[in-house]
Amino acid sequence: MISSSFDYARATSLDDAIKRLGAAGGAAKLVAGGHSLVPLMKLRLSEPQALIDIARIKALSNISELDGHIEIGATAVHHAVATSKLLRRQCPGVADAAGEIGDPQVRNRGTLGGSLAHADPAADYPAVMLAVDAEIHLKGPKGWRMVRADGFFQGLFTVDLAPDEIIAGVRFAPAPVSAYAKLRQRASHYAIVGVAAALQVNDGTIQSARVGLTGAGAHAVRLSSVERALAGQPLTDAVIASAAGHAGAEVTHLNADIHASEDYRRAMIPVFTRRALEGAMRRA
């Protein structure tokens, strides 16, 4: 498999990348790890006229805590996220999800920003971004823009990102009581169903819950009815089981393929919702 021809340039800074992206007038694509884009280019399903490489913009790969919030740069690779001590402590669900992506080599190259921009319906990250209520920080020629994960994933491979904008990073509050659980498609290791859960727990009571679902439909969504069923309840197995029991009932369109029918996917949503919640509970 060999890609079509294209021009290549390396951006020296975020602003340089934005300038180049603008100059290309929609014909260029950004590349960092390339693990979403390069396979598509090799299949010639994506044929950009130019690639702008942002992998070496240092500031974009940081994982840090600032003013009580966690920030992950767009070019942070999955391996860095999965093994970050900060994230393991403050947002283990995010690290879990990163560690479930692909395989070791993919995790060494693939990036958070690439995964979010590509928005594969079976990608792992979108579910946790919903669960931690991440702000996705974008920059374009007109400056910065912030979108909440909730509004970012809009459809199949479709996100709220203009062609001249770049994902610079994500920001979210610590979510130490969080986890990710996934049913793997056994060939690709993508998610047939993946559920991320983040709980705010005070004195054994769930103050609030956020649950993100990936793999099941055209794009990742929140499981609001599960969230509502948990809020204000004591954190117990019974509460979790009950809240998870009807998870996904509101999801109208479910994917179906040779690996999992619509029925099976639907049935797996409560199972993995419960498993994600149980995983989170173990961290409370």
Partner 1 sequence: MPQISITVNGKVRKARVEPRLLLVHFLREQLLLTGTHVGCDTSQCGACTVLIDGRSAKSCTIFAVQASGSKVTTIEGLATDGALHPLQEGFWEEHGLQCGYCTPGMILSAVNLLKDTPRPTERQIREGIAGNFCRCTGYQHIVNAIQHAAKKGLPKRAKRARRTPKAAASAATGGR
Partner 2 sequence: MAAIPVLPKLVGERVKRREDPRLIQGRATYVDDITIAGMKHLVFKRSDIAHGRIRSIDTTAAEAMDGVDAVFTGAEIAEFLPPMPIGTPFPSPPHHSVAVDVVRYVGDPVAVVVARDRYAAKDAADAIVVEYDALPAVVDLERAMTGQPAVIHADFPNNLAVALVPGGTGVDGAMNVDDTAVDKAFAEADVVISQRMMNHRLVPNAIEPRGVVAHYEPGKESMTIWSSTQNPHILRSMIAALNGLGQHQVRAIAPEVGGGFGSKINIYGEDYVASAISKRLGEPVKWIEERSEAFVATTHGRDILGYVELAAKQDGTVLGLRLRLIADIGAYNMLLTAAIPTLTMLMVSGTYRIPAIRATITEVFTNKTPTDAYRGAGRPEATYFVERAMDMLASKLNMDPAELRRRNFIQPAEFPFATQMGAVYDSGDYDKALTAALKLADWDRLKAERDAAKAEGRLVGLGLAMYVEVCGLGPSSSLPTGGWEHSQVTIERDGRISATTGASPHGQGNETTFAQMLADQFGVPIEHVTILHGDTGVVKQGIGTFGSRSQAVGGAALHMAGGKVKTKMARFAAAMLEAHEDDLVFENGTIAVKGAPASGKSFADVAAFAYVPVPLPAGLEPGLSEEAFFEPSNNTYPFGCHISMLEIDRETGEPTLLKLVAVDDAGNLINPMIVEGQIHGGLAQGIGQAMVEEAVYGDDGQLLTGSFMDYAIPRATDFPRFELGATVTPTPVNPLGAKGVGEAGTLGSTPCIVAAAVDALSGFGVTHIDMMLRPEKLWRIIQGGQS
What Cα–Cα distance (Å) separates residue 86 from each residue in 92, 96, 174?
Answer: 9, 13, 10
Residues 71-100 that bind partner 1 (CB under 8 A): 79, 83
Q: Are 273 and 195 contacting, i.e. CB atoms less than 8 angstroms apart?
A: yes
Q: Is 42 in the site for partner 1 (CB under 8 A)?
A: yes
Report the residue from 13, 25, 43, 267 that binds partner 1 according to the rule CB under 8 A: 43
Q: Which helix (H) or strand (E) holds 78?
A: helix 78-83
* Shortest Å distance, C-beta 180 to partner 2: 16
Q: Order of strands, edge to edge, in the sheet holding 143-148?
A: 63-66, 69-73, 166-172, 135-140, 143-148
For the window 190-209, what string marks contact with partner 2 as x by the rule CB under 8 A? Answer: x-------------------
CB half-sphere exposure, 157, CA atoms < 13 A: 5
Q: Is 45 in the site for partner 1 (CB under 8 A)?
A: no
Task: Enumerate the β-bridge partners of residue 121.
Answer: none
* Binding partner at 267 among partner 1, partner 2, none, C-beta below 5 to 8 Å by kind: partner 2
Size of the site for partner 2 (CB under 8 A): 17
Can you say how many angstroms the Cα of residue 280 is from the centroid of all Cα atoms in its chain? 18
Looking at the chain, how many residues does it have? Answer: 284
Contacts of residue 227, Cβ cutoff 8 Å, sequence gap at least 6: 208, 209, 210, 211
Two structure tokens written together for 184:
């793997």
- Give whichever of 39 and 163 is closer to partner 2, judged by the CB atom: 39
Size of the site for partner 1 (CB under 8 A): 30
Q: Are 60 and 54 contacting, i.e. CB atoms less than 8 angstroms apart?
A: yes
Q: Is 105 in the site for partner 2 (CB under 8 A)?
A: no
What Cα–Cα distance (Å) separates residue 146 from each residue in 80, 169, 210?
Answer: 24, 10, 20
* Binding partner at 44 among partner 1, partner 2, none, C-beta below 5 to 8 Å by kind: partner 2
SS (H, E, C) 21-73: HHHHCCCEEEECCCCCHHHHHHCCCCCCCEEEECCCCHHHHCEEEECCEEEEE
For the window 138-167, what string marks contact with partner 2 as x by the rule CB under 8 A? Answer: ------------------------------
What does DSSP assign to residue 86?
A: H
Report the residue from 53, 133, 160, 278 that binds partner 1 according to the rule CB under 8 A: 53
* Binding partner at 102 among partner 2, partner 1, none, C-beta below 5 to 8 Å by kind: partner 1
Report the residue from 11, 21, 55, 116 that binds partner 1 according to the rule CB under 8 A: 55
* Shortest Å distance, C-beta 163 to partner 2: 26
Q: What φ, ψ does residue 130 adopt, rounded to 5°?
A: -70, -40
Q: Is 85 in the site for partner 2 (CB under 8 A)?
A: no
Instruction: Name the one range near partner 2 by CB under 8 A: 9-17, 22-30, 144-152, 186-194.
Output: 186-194
Q: Which residues bind partner 1 (CB under 8 A)?
A: 1-8, 31, 34-35, 38-39, 41-43, 51, 53, 55-56, 79, 83, 102-106, 108-109, 188
Q: Which residues bind partner 2 (CB under 8 A)?
A: 1-2, 4, 44, 183, 186-188, 190, 258-261, 264, 267-268, 271
